[in-house]
Amino acid sequence: MSERATDTLHFVARQLVDHPDDVRIDVSSDDRGTTLHLMVHPDDVGKVIGRHGRTAKALRTLIRAAGSLDDDNVNVEIED
């Protein structure tokens, strides 16, 4: 598990939302790598996804890069 990727996602997500105390990340691992399940306040889901999913795509790219520093394949799932 990539602690660096988890910490990075937590920091960035808290900066994006209006309810930073409601940001939660659950981690699951399987043979394909690590999946970070990001949960935010229902009012903030749109801010994390962004217009046409651009913010979510940028988050996934950033976290994938942070995970690769620890030789881990990391994916991000945004939960409703």
Tell me the pLDDT tens digit for each residue of 27-55.
Answer: 999 999 999 999 999 999 999 999 999 99
pLDDT reported for residue 1? 67
Tell me which CATH code domain 3-79 carries.
3.30.300.20
Backbone dihedral region for residue 76 (phi beyond 0: left; psi -120 to 50: alpha; all else: beta): beta
Tokens of 26: 């659950």
19 pLDDT higher than 80: yes
Sheet with 33-39: list strands edge to edge: 24-30, 33-39, 74-79
